[in-house]
């Protein structure tokens, strides 16, 4: 085989055999060929783009000369689809009376060793939600039925879920409309290359609408979370996609945006008191006594966090602040809205990260339930399995599990 023919063969072999579809490029082939002294001489001169064009011609020439054709099937599976933990899923589902649970095995993402409020923990939290979104995007379409009204909460879990939500082209399901469940707050803390994260329910509802065959326009709140505006229109909602948050890290209630200026003094006082009573990080997940769902703030039960109790006076003062704040915000009352949707449809919570373990446990302990379906990470699921007691009385669920009633 001549050097020219050998060069064509090596270029084609590297392109199709050595490189995955993610890394496949003529630039990479060029770099590898230039590592062979006898072939590098043939690839001297010209700029990088010209040499890459030459590699492309060689690959195509070799295929034509040898009558080789390729059918490339790009897999929808990627390393971002972390495996699940089915035995842990079964225990969480049975313990809290949920209809279905997905536990994403995120143990390969190492827990940071830095202090709780460090950037390393923020990055870890982002990675966890990125992984949860892949499974959330699979779970949501399985819950949809013709004529559904879908309510959207805010947060990274719902945002990543919507990004990855794909309704099969063969699906005959048509959703009636999509509704946002809270007013808007600016996003200043999260960004990915090319765009900022849109964590508000209005933005999430708008992006979800074209992905699920929605017949009507999205029903948006369309104003600031502190505006003088009627509460979201929640009658008829049959599905809710939401996250569960904790007042910690980069939560937007800790770094008030322009929309939160009318309640900034209340938020400062709440954060001050919450920071005083939150215990230091130990061997368990961080305990944060204040959580939120659909931007409705709540105080975590003492029984949710084993071995810890919140002083009665502190609990009373913080609960008073939460009541005042919730009265100033455009959001929903989860004890009414989410419980009602669970009864007639389904509530899918996509949430995780050690900061949120206590808040997630609190929500799962509600009776009547606020959540029917859960997507979370391995760390949180292990905590729920070992540390959090189930609701005192589990509400009767559908006899046929994994199927929305």
pLDDT tens per residue across span 128-145: 999 999 999 999 999 999
| Rounded CA separation 277/310 (Å) | 7
What is the average pLDDT across 231-242?
91
- Is residue 397 one of the residues assigned to a domain? no
- Is residue 398 one of the residues assigned to a domain? no
pLDDT tens per residue across span 173-206: 889 999 999 998 876 554 444 444 568 899 999 9
pLDDT on residue 64: 78
Examine the domain organization and report whether 51 and 172 are in the same domain. Answer: no
Examine the domain organization and report whether 169 and 57 are in the same domain. Answer: no
| Rounded CA separation 405/386 (Å) | 29
Q: Which of 58, 57, 56 is nearest to 25 (CA)?
A: 56
**Lowest mean pLDDT, pick from 55-69, 245-259, 327-341:** 55-69
pLDDT on residue 69: 61
Q: What angle do CA 296, 379, 280 make, to 5 degrees?
A: 70
Asked whether the bond before 51 is cis by omega within 30 degrees of 0, the reply is no
Give the number of other Cβ atoms within 10 Å of residue 51's Cβ: 18
**Lowest mean pLDDT, pick from 30-44, 106-120, 250-264, 342-356:** 30-44
**Lowest mean pLDDT, pick from 42-46, 85-89, 118-122, 247-251:** 42-46
User: In the chain, what is the greatest distance between 2 CA atoms, to the nearest angstrom?
Assistant: 87
pLDDT tens per residue across span 26-75: 777 777 777 776 677 677 666 777 777 787 788 778 777 876 665 544 44
- Is residue 73 one of the residues assigned to a domain? no
What is the average pLDDT across 277-291?
79
Tokens at 67, concatenated: 């009558």
Q: What share of the chain is helix, strand, coil (3-state, %, to 5)?
A: 45, 10, 45
- Is residue 48 one of the residues assigned to a domain? yes
* CATH number of the domain bearing residue 114: 3.40.50.1360
Examine the domain organization and report whether 40 and 93 are in the same domain. Answer: no
- Residue 196, by phi and psi: left (phi above 0), alpha (psi -120 to 50) or beta? beta
pLDDT band at 403 (very low <50, low <70, confident <90, very high): very low
- Is residue 349 one of the residues assigned to a domain? yes
pLDDT on residue 73: 45
User: DSSP E strands: which ranges in 138-254?
Assistant: 149-152, 177-180, 191-192, 195-196, 239-242, 245-246
Q: Which of 262, 251, 257, 323 is nearest to 291 (CA)?
A: 251
Examine the domain organization and report whether 96 and 224 are in the same domain. Answer: yes
Examine the domain organization and report whether 49 and 143 are in the same domain. Answer: no
Examine the domain organization and report whether 36 and 164 are in the same domain. Answer: no
Statement: residue 295 has pLDDT above 90: yes
- Is residue 38 one of the residues assigned to a domain? yes
Examine the domain organization and report whether 137 and 25 are in the same domain. Answer: no
Examine the domain organization and report whether 58 and 170 are in the same domain. Answer: no
pLDDT band at 385 (very low <50, low <70, confident <90, very high): very high
pLDDT on residue 54: 81
- Is residue 160 one of the residues assigned to a domain? yes
Tokens at 120, concatenated: 């390393």
**Burial of 192 (C-beta count, 10 Å sphere; 0-12/13-18/19+):** exposed
Statement: residue 282 has pLDDT above 80: no
Statement: residue 249 has pLDDT above 50: yes
pLDDT on residue 121: 85
CA 61 to chain centroid: 46
Examine the domain organization and report whether 58 and 115 are in the same domain. Answer: no
Statement: residue 402 has pLDDT above 50: no
- Is residue 342 one of the residues assigned to a domain? yes
Examine the domain organization and report whether 147 and 254 are in the same domain. Answer: yes
Examine the domain organization and report whether 190 and 272 are in the same domain. Answer: yes
Host domain of residue 104:
86-387
pLDDT on residue 15: 75
pLDDT on residue 114: 81
Statement: residue 311 has pLDDT above 90: yes
**SS3 label, residue 354:** helix
Strand-pairing partners, residue 87, are: none
What is the average pLDDT across 277-305?
86
What is the average pLDDT across 153-167?
91
Examine the domain organization and report whether 137 and 276 are in the same domain. Answer: yes
Number of domains composing the chain: 2
What is the average pLDDT across 374-393?
91
- Identify the top-confidence range among 84-88, 275-279, 344-348: 344-348
pLDDT on residue 94: 94
């Amino acid at each position: 085989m001549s050097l020219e023919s050998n060069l064509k063969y090596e270029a084609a072999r590297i392109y199709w055999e050595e490189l995955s579809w993610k890394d496949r490029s003529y630039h990479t082939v060029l770099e590898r060929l230039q590592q062979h002294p006898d072939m590098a001489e043939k690839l001297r001169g010209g700029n990088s783009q010209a040499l890459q064009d030459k590699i492309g011609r060689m690959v195509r020439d070799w295929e034509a000369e040898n009558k080789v054709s390729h059918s490339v099937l790009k897999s929808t599976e990627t390393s971002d689809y972390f495996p699940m933990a089915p035995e842990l899923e079964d225990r969480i589902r049975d313990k809290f009376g949920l209809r279905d649970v997905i536990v994403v095995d995120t143990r390969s993402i190492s827990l940071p060793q830095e202090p709780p409020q460090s950037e390393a923990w923020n990055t870890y939290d982002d990675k966890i939600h990125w992984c949860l979104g892949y499974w959330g995007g699979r779970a949501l379409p399985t819950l949809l039925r013709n004529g559904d009204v879908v309510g959207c909460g805010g947060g990274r879990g719902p945002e990543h879920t919507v990004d990855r939500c794909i309704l099969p082209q063969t699906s005959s399901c048509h959703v009636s409309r999509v509704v946002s469940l809270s007013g808007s707050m600016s996003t200043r803390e999260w960004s990915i290359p090319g765009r900022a994260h849109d964590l508000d329910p209005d933005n999430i509802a708008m992006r979800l609408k074209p992905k699920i065959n929605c017949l009507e326009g999205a029903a948006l709140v369309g104003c600031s979370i502190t505006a003088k505006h009627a509460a979201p229109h929640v009658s008829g909602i049959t599905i809710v996609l939401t996250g569960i948050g904790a007042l910690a890290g980069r939560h937007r209630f800790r770094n008030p945006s322009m929309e939160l200026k009318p309640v900034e003094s209340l938020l400062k006082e709440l954060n001050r008191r919450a920071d005083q009573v939150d215990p230091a990080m130990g061997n368990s997940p961080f305990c944060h006594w204040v959580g939120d769902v659909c931007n409705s703030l709540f105080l975590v039960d003492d029984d949710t966090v084993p071995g810890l109790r919140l002083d009665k006076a502190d609990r009373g003062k913080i609960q008073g602040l939460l009541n005042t704040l919730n009265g100033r915000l455009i959001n929903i009352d989860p004890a009414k809205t989410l419980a009602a949707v669970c009864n007639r449809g389904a509530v899918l919570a996509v949430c995780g990260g050690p900061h949120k373990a206590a808040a997630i446990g609190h929500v799962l302990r509600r009776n009547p339930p606020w959540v029917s379906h859960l997507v979370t990470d391995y760390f949180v699921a292990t905590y729920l399995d070992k540390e959090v007691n189930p609701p005192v009385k589990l509400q009767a669920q559908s006899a046929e599990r994994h199927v929305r009633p």
